[in-house]
Amino acid sequence: MKNKIDLDYSLASELIDNIKDDPMGDWFALPETFSATELKRIKEVAKRVQNDSDYLVCIGIGGSYLGARAVYEALYLGDSAKCRLLFAGNNLSSPELKRILKTIDGHDFSVNVISKSGTTLEPAVAFRVLKQALIEKYGEEEAKKRIIATTDPECGALHDEAKENGYETFDVPLGIGGRYSVLTPVGLFPLAVAGCNIDKLLEGARHCKETQISHLEDSMLVTYAFTRFYLYDECGCDVEVLASFEPCLMYFNEWWKQLFGESEGKDKQGIFPASVIYSTDLHSLGQYMQDGRRNIFETFLKFSPEKSPLTVPSFKGAADGLDYLEGKPITEISDKALTATIKAHDAGGISTMIIEVLDNESERGVSELSLGFLIFFFETACAISAMLHGVDPFNQPGVEKYKKEMFKLLGKE
């Protein structure tokens, strides 16, 4: 496949320069330039929250929440966190909010409200409900100490409320939009509260930048961005399916979908981002992937294998026909399933790519380092890819349309 694609490295270099020069491209410099003072403050406030709260309710939607949730779920942080995260304000569901109120009932909690604009309806509604719960439990003054607002540093409804009430605040940097903000306080603060090693997350992103941007000829990132555009433009593949064999990556897939969907889907163009978790989805979407319309290409994510995996136990006289697998690590079986899936889909006429991220130091392969690497990898590939489509990677004019209609129906003046 690579031979047929025009991997135009000078164009890639030009597009990377465009990112650097774009007023909304500040996320590109972050892995190296993140302020040490701000990082220290994030950790200090996170420690304080860990000490006085069992739960941190993170209120936000889209780019203001998906990155943190992706890493939280991928690292199983909820299993070990001293202070667990709950995610609210990413829908308009009353039962979901009630569930959160029930979970925090009888526990100490704090609230991290995250909204760059400060006017997004879903988080604003949830914030009212959670603020009321805080005031009922702790009283007005203590409630204010338990609210951390992550918002625009200069203006906006949330910025103004935070200032007036003396909430602790973190900035969504002016030159960074929601879906590129996971490595800012938007993602780093809640993740630090949950016990994530945020230094390693940034280190992973730095490593990606060092290895993928300094030598474009060897860059998998550039190959990925150009290949997906080639498959769209030349082969009529307008759906990309991101596939992995780890269920913990379900929210990483959601983050990836938002990143590409909002960045690329403009002017009646763009690749539709979809995702699967195998082998689960081999038993649902597998049939379509093998035999359905051939407008799809598939990108597989692969990590270093888990160091001490479970093995298949032996059972004397078992009738399940699995004796040939006795003693085999489940990781090895999963790896074979991945190779087999790629072979089968390839034979079925689907173009496939594998992105393999190695972190041999971590027990599970899915680690802060590998996730930090992938976050930067996809953010940059997405921006390049959107520019190849000729659209602005950093705006989202379409999202405003539903808001206008909804506000009309709700009678907003």
Active site residues: 262, 283, 403
Helix (H, G, I), strand (E, B) or coil at 117: coil
| Contact in structure between 221 and 382 (CB atoms under 8 Å) | no
Distance from C-alpha of 245 to C-alpha of 342, rounded to nearest angstrom:
12
Contacting range for ligand PA5; rule: CB under 6 A; set: 10-18, 109-117, 243-251, 369-377 = 109-117
| Omega of the bond leading into 370 within 30 degrees of 0 (cis) | no
Under the binding rule (CB under 6 A), the answer on residue 112 touching ligand PA5 is no
Under the binding rule (CB under 6 A), the answer on residue 187 touching ligand PA5 is no
What residues are paired with 87 via a beta bridge? 58
Q: Which of 50, 64, 212, 385 binds ligand PA5 (CB under 6 A)?
A: 64
Contacting range for ligand PA5; rule: CB under 6 A; set: 6-14, 115-123, 136-144, 202-210 = 115-123
Under the binding rule (CB under 6 A), the answer on residue 261 touching ligand PA5 is no
Closest CB 355 distance from ligand PA5, rounded Å: 22
Report which residue type is found at 359. Answer: D
Under the binding rule (CB under 6 A), the answer on residue 204 touching ligand PA5 is no
Closest CB 402 distance from ligand PA5, rounded Å: 11
Nearest residue relative to ligand PA5 (C-beta): 178
Non-local CB neighbours of 360 within 8 Å, separated by 6+ positions: 304
Element (H, E) at 160: helix 157-165
Under the binding rule (CB under 6 A), the answer on residue 123 touching ligand PA5 is yes
Closest CB 154 distance from ligand PA5, rounded Å: 14
Q: Which of 26, 168, 262, 298 binds ligand PA5 (CB under 6 A)?
A: 262
Distance from C-alpha of 104 to C-alpha of 85, rounded to nearest angstrom:
11
Q: Which of 63, 187, 261, 270 binds ligand PA5 (CB under 6 A)?
A: 63
Contacting range for ligand PA5; rule: CB under 6 A; set: 131-139, 176-184, 335-343, 348-356 = 176-184
Q: Is 98 left (phi over 0), alpha (psi -120 to 50) or beta?
A: alpha
Q: Which of 31, 177, 187, 195 binds ligand PA5 (CB under 6 A)?
A: 177
Strands of the 296-303 sheet, one edge to the other: 272-277, 239-244, 296-303, 351-357
Contacting range for ligand PA5; rule: CB under 6 A; set: 111-119, 283-291, 300-308, 328-336 = 111-119
Name the nearest CA neighbour of 150 among 141, 140, 159.
159
Residue recorded with tokens 């082969």: 235
Q: What is the full DSSP assignment across 190-245? A: HHHHTT--HHHHHHHHHHHHHHHHS-GGG-HHHHHHHHHHHHHHTT---EEEEEES
Tell me how far CA of residue 405 lies from CA of 60, 63, 262, 411, in angstroms: 21, 22, 19, 10
Closest CB 33 distance from ligand PA5, rounded Å: 21
Closest CB 227 distance from ligand PA5, rounded Å: 25
Under the binding rule (CB under 6 A), the answer on residue 173 touching ligand PA5 is no
Closest CB 306 distance from ligand PA5, rounded Å: 32
Contacting range for ligand PA5; rule: CB under 6 A; set: 58-66, 215-223, 266-274, 380-388 = 58-66
Interface contacts to ligand PA5, rule CB under 6 A: 61-64, 115-117, 120, 123, 177-179, 262, 396, 399
